[in-house]
């Protein structure tokens, strides 16, 4: 019998999927907010609202669950607040550009593991 991992490891494909969701987070959240205020929704709009709301909430929760505070802070600034990579590097002048990139990689891995555990990816 195969043993199931309690916290599944993220594969390269999982990390790519997580990064894609992180990049689309702001648009998904805004679209879900706008659709939720609409009086009447078509079937497609209702499906998009449900899907994007679920995914954006899962991404936000996965970022909040990052254990390393330094990594979580960079990820929140970069993806949840929607800043560019350069804006993120500029916001954290006390750490090197490469360190910002390493924190983003570690954060994407953590988010991917959480999203995989939740069945989002």
Q: Residue 7: what pLDDT?
A: 67
Q: At what angle do helices 12-37 and 43-64 cross, to 10 degrees?
A: 120
pLDDT for res 114: 95
Mean pLDDT estimate for the chain? 93
How does pLDDT run across 53-82, given as a tens digit for each residue? 999 999 999 999 999 999 999 999 999 999
Token pair of 118 as six digits? 């939740």
Residue 20: its pLDDT value, please?
A: 97
The C-alpha atoms of residue 67 and residue 50 are separated, in whole angstroms, by: 28
Model-level pTM greater than 0.85? yes
For 74-99, what is each residue's pLDDT tens digit?
A: 999 999 999 999 999 999 999 999 99
User: Where along the chain do its domains lie?
Assistant: 12-118
Looking at residue 1, its pLDDT comes to 46
- Closest C-alpha to 62, from 5, 3, 8, 109: 109
Contacts (Cβ under 8 Å, ≥6 apart) of 50: none
Q: Report CA 38 to chain centroid distance, whole Å.
A: 26
């Amino acid at each position: 019998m195969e043993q199931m991992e309690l916290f599944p490891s993220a594969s390269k494909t999982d990390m790519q999927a997580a990064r894609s969701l992180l990049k689309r987070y702001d648009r998904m959240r805004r679209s879900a907010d706008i659709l939720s205020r609409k009086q009447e929704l078509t079937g497609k709009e209702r499906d998009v609202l449900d899907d994007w709301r679920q995914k954006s909430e899962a991404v936000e929760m996965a970022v909040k669950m990052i254990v390393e505070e330094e990594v979580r802070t960079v990820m929140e600034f970069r993806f949840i607040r929607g800043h560019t990579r350069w804006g993120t590097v500029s916001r954290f002048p006390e750490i090197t550009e490469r360190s910002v990139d390493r924190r983003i990689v570690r954060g994407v891995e953590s988010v991917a593991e959480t999203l995989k555990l939740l069945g989002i990816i």
